[in-house]
Structure 1
Amino acid sequence: MPIPQTAYSAIEHHGAVDGVTGSCHELMIDADNSVLIDCGLFQGAEVSGAGAGANQLAIDFAVDKVRALLVTHCHIDHVGRIPYLVAAGFRGPIFCSEPTAHLLPLVLEDAMAVGISKDRHLIEPFIELINGRIVAVPYAQWRVVPLAQDAGSALQVKFNPAGHILGSAYIECDVAAGKQKQRIVFSGDLGGPFTPLLPAPKSPYRADVLVLESTYGDRLHENRKQRQARLQALIGRCLQNSGVILIPAFSIGRTQELLYELEDIIHRHKTEAVAKGLLWQDMEIIVDSPLASRFTEVYKQLKPYWDAEAKARVRAGRHPLAFEQLTTVNNHHDHLAAVSYLQKTAKPCIVIAAGGMCAGGRIVNYLKALIEDQRTDILLVGYQAAGTPGRDIQQFGPKHGYVELDGRRYTIKAGVYALSGYSAHADKNSLLRFVKGMRKKPDEIRLIHGDDTAKKALQQALAELFPEIRVLIP
């Protein structure tokens, strides 16, 4: 969706305009040069500015002047269309933070296998190509982005920790086009101040234009102590049913944060009863996602990027992401066996499985097997986009409505609970603090990556706090 401007630099939004997925924004440096910030998949019922459906994959904008791709983080709704971007003719480098450089090839390998082809002869050359394109940039260091020769323009970028998932960043872009100089900041997805494992994001010093996410622009999260207590209480309540607790979670970020929190609860309450006849130290936690297991291994390798609390736990001899109650399921045969076993026995345990919005991944098989069992409980710990099964479960589950999974309707007899405090996204107050913390406030803020109600609520709050700032909803 082009935003009319009289001079460069200009911004065009190709996704995450009418919803929260498909993030893709083009920063036009001059008439011959631009860069993309993210290139993600649309999910659920969301559409792009051009009216593209949720399953749209083809790149519907010209890429001949796109000199580089800047990646804020490697969630699929921010990077999932990179294979299609390359197929459309993009030949430039891919700039990202150092941790993202480790994670991105894994994400794209999985995205290729799920959405394009399982043929290793196709996947491996593509991943090799991507590895050759990645430029890993240390946090808080300026890096020049090469533009066309004789452009007369220049671009420098800096990645700063965003606290959303490991490697996530907001990106500062210093643009010099002719006599005009601007600093444009793209927030990517911001985390809250108490995200497990990750330091909280710090505001940039200044910006002329801020492109800001608004996923939870109309809501407040519980603080970390409250949400951990609620997680603990909900697990105890659910296990009174002597059934399975299903937690749909993204393989990267959410899964590791949940493991971190569960390890802490078990550590502090080992010999206490979580339910009749079951101690916390004896409760099994199953992570059923090969991708999540691979990401967890990378998370462990990247301990230098953990926050001070997590590092202190490691020094004390604890293993926040690899504790003894944890079982991982990797191959498909074991996955089907686990689903069948739990369907027959309803053994009290916690299952964390991909994907986070129940639109695909191994969680779907667990839901099909267990959602009509009253002993089952479903904990939703992240945002559920419109048009996804997760949103239907969240909306209709408490009324024992139905959800459609793989073309069949299932009555939701399981208990359904939402734990929005475990969202990896900043809430309304954290988004406002991000702007408040800037020493030189932007002239313009553009709100993206949110439902209409969230964007409008955040727009109003920003306008009240900063009447001198122009707050736009593209």
Structure 2
Amino acid sequence: MDIQFFGAAKMVTGSNYLVKTERYNILVDCGMFQGNEEMERLNYDDFPYNPADIDFLILTHAHIDHSGRIPKLVKEGFRGRIIATNATYDLCKIMLRDSAKIQESDIEWENRKRQRAGKKPIEPLYTMKDAENSLKYFEPYFIDQRIKINDNIQIRFKDAGHILGSAILELWIKEANEEVKVVFSGDLGMPNRPIINNPDYIDEADYLVIESTYGNKIHASYSESTQNLIDIINKTVLRGGTVIIPSFAVGRTQELIYQLNKYYEYNSEVEEYMKIPIYVDSPMAVETTEAFKRNSSSFNEEARELILRGDNPFEFKNLRYIKTQEESMALNKFEFPKVIISSSGMATAGRVRHHLKHNLWDNRNSLVFVGYQAQGTLGRILLDGKKKVKILGEEIDVKAEIYDLEGFSGHADQKILLDWLNNFKIKPKKIFIVHGEEEASVALSNLIKHLYRIETIIPNIGDSFNIAKNDVELTKGIELTPIMLREDIENEFKTAYNQFEALIDKSGRLLDSKVLATNYDEIKNQLIDLQHTLMELNIIIGK
């Protein structure tokens, strides 16, 4: 069996790994390269394999640097199965369509320039039709389900705690009557964050592919960053300014809404005049928030309890969702204090660039970054302290106060990465370190070698490694005793029972005529799905 690395090697974008067995070709992620022009040109290169030869694509999560080239893969011949979590599929329906829209728009603009220069037009990376077609190949599953792909391959998704639906991949491959287990960490999140569950621990692996985005850093505390954000908002409000927050439409925006909901709804000390408008100005973020609502069963315990008590954490009095371009443009015509949360998170595209153009020059305003800024992006350029930047063809003075709240990062820091690895009961014999700039990957590699005496490899793009059968130590698996199995099912049953009990308590609301007028079909469909699930469960346990 070979593992080949075709992206996110000594960089944080373009995740794409190929596992080749004697009979099957398995891709893990098919992400887009993001960053400067040189990096993004890689998206137009031919795949280093024939897409038609790929049997399975297993997707760890929906972020574009992991999913963004899927329509290109299908366009160029892939006809296999795309296996992902349910929430990842829901988010990909939004993100891949949005990405296609951007591809078409960018090429239309580029081709107008080429026409004026007498050059031939070029094709987009993929079109909306390609994106729609790629969605037909998805097979969604829930976290923690063990999935038998065929007699030789089994997988299981565990919660990565990065964004909704993000998964750690456990991959079991059987060849010549020997089974090898390879674990891909995907993008690991930080524990104790709103909405999302903590990353699951993994018991054992023969080989591990682990991310290293922050392999050389320790994040500021989340609570400290949250309080800093509130302080920045309040300080900017008092001087009559606007707060601009470039935010990833998927995950980070919903997290910010959740935290601001807690601050404005549950903090009695907040004066009414300080409850300024919070605008979420990203069509994709609005769609994504709806997808979050549809996948609330995947939320952490705190968020589920809020919902079961009847609180929608994505709605509060001073929150406004902006949908049309006209509404977005109007935000920059008014000078009253406000917060604008807009994508993209690295300020490489989207409506946030218009808001930066209209607000960066004013020293009353604040710009707050709440996520990773890749090399070459406008976000990184601003964080590096450049005093003039070109946005949408115009040179802008940078006078707004700029903040970087790393505590909001959705990626595990060095401490959490090592804690996660430490909780393997049977450690991997070899670890591949990916998804990090070289300095971060080297720092994590050195620590792993020092602490655990495990061989580490930091691959380059294009590197291929053979996992020979005689190099794999066959280890006794973690034994699941009858008591452990019973406790696991008891916990799942208790969770389901509590959710059903909360639904019964709200049955009057379920039958409310106003609710039925707008949500009848959705409620009925969910109840039908519930009936089928309960019947199937009764058949399984029936005598």
Query: How big is the shift at 1:325?
Result: 1.0
Deviation at 1:221, TM superposition (A): 1.6
Letter of the aligned partner of 1:375 in structure 2? R
The match for 1:293 is: 286
Partner SS, residue 159 of structure 1: strand
SS in 1 for 2:189: coil
Q: Measure the CA separation in 1 of the matches of 2:276 and 2:321.
A: 14
| C-alpha contact (below 8 Å) 2:264/2:270 kept by paired residues | no
1:123 shift after superposition: 6.0
Tell me what 1:135 maps to.
139
Separation (CA, whole Å) in 1 of partners of 2:42 and 2:246: 20
Is the alpha carbon distance of 1:107 and 1:115 closer, same or farther for their aligned partners in structure 2, counting shifts above 3 Å? Answer: same
Q: Contact (CA 8 Å) 2:71, 2:131: kept in 1 or not? A: no
Q: 1:444 aligns with which of 410, 421, 430?
A: 430
- Structure 2 residue aligned with 1:190: 188
CA deviation profile, 1:342-375 (whole Å, cap 9, x unmatched):
4xx2x21110001000000110000111111111
- Matched residue, 1:150: none
Letter in 1 for 2:308: R
Per-residue CA deviations over 1:170-217 (Å, capped at 9, x if unaligned) read 101101122442100111111110221011011111111110000111
Question: What is the alpha-carbon root mean square deviation over aligned residues?
Answer: 2.1
Three-state SS of the structure 1 residue aligned to 2:232 is helix
Task: Tell me, yes or no, if the aligned pair for 2:71 and 2:134 is still in contact at 8 Å.
Answer: no
For residues 242 and 462 of structure 1, the distance between their equivalents in structure 2, rounded to whole angstroms, comes to 49
Q: CA separation of 1:463/1:109 partners in 2, compared to 1, >3 Å: closer, same or farther?
A: same
Q: Is 1:15 aligned to residue 15 of structure 2?
A: no
Runs of 5+ consecutive residues of structure 2 not aligned to the other structure = 109-125, 460-543
Identify the residue that residue 305 of structure 1 maps to in structure 2. 298
Distance (Å, rounded) in 1 between the aligned partners of 2:163 and 2:88: 9
The residue that corresponds to 1:35 in the other structure is: 26
Deviation at 1:133, TM superposition (A): 1.1
Structure 2 residue aligned with 1:235, among 233, 252, 256?
Answer: 233
Q: Deviations over 1:273-321 (max 9, x none)?
A: 4xxxx634x2110000111001101111211111111122223343211
Q: State how far apart, in whole Å, the 2-side matches of 1:42 and 1:429 are.
A: 27
2: CA distance between counterparts of 1:249 and 1:210? 30
Q: Given residue 161 of structure 2, which amino acid in structure 1 is its aligned partner? A: G
Query: 1:283 maps to what in 2?
Result: 276
Structure holding more strand per residue: 1
Q: 1:415 to 1:54 in 2, by over 3 A?
A: farther
Query: In the alignment, which of 321, 324, 327 is matched to residue 314 of structure 2?
Result: 321
Amino acid paired to 2:351: R
Give, in whole Å, the separation in 1 of the partners of 2:277 and 2:27: 43
Equivalent in 455, 458, 468 of residue 444 of structure 2? 458
Cα distance in 1 for partners of 2:127, 2:322 equals 23
Correspondences of 1:277-426 after superposition (within 5 Å): 279-280=273-274, 282-339=275-332, 341-342=333-334, 345=335, 347-396=336-385, 401-426=387-412
The reply on whether 1:427 has 2:413 as its aligned counterpart is yes
Change (3 A) 1:117 1:348: closer
8 Å contact from structure 2 (residues 32, 67) kept in 1: yes
Question: Is the CA contact 2:242–2:337 (under 8 Å) kept in the aligned structure 1?
Answer: yes
Aligned to 1:15, the other structure's residue is in SS state coil
Residue 359 and residue 365 in structure 1: after superposition, are their counterparts in 2 closer, same or farther (change >3 A)? same
Separation (CA, whole Å) in 2 of partners of 1:175 and 1:46: 38
CA distance 1:407–1:12, shift in 2 (3 Å): farther
User: What secondary structure is seen at the aligned counterpart in 2 of 1:106?
Assistant: helix
Deviation (angstroms), 1:249:
0.6
Using the alignment, how far apart are the partners of 2:135 and 2:358 within structure 1?
39
CA distance in 1, matches of 2:369, 2:57: 32
In the TM superposition, structure 1's runs of 4+ consecutive aligned residues that sit over 6 Å from their partners are none
Q: 1:51-102 deviations in whole A, cap 9, x for unaligned?
A: x745546434322331011111101111111111111211111100111122
Mapped contact 1:206–1:439 kept (Cα < 8 A): yes
For 2:119, the equivalent position in structure 1 comes to none
Deviation at 1:271, TM superposition (A): 4.3
Structure 1: gaps spanning 5 or more residues: 1-7, 147-152
Q: Helix, strand or coil for the counterpart of 1:396? A: coil
- Cα deviation digits, residues 205-264 of structure 1 (max 9, x gap): 111111000011111123332222222222223333311100001111000001011111
The structural deviation recorded for 1:156 is 1.1
More helix by proportion, 1 or 2?
Answer: 2
The amino acid that maps onto 2:83 is F
Q: State how many pairs are aligned.
A: 441
Percent of aligned positions that are identical: 33
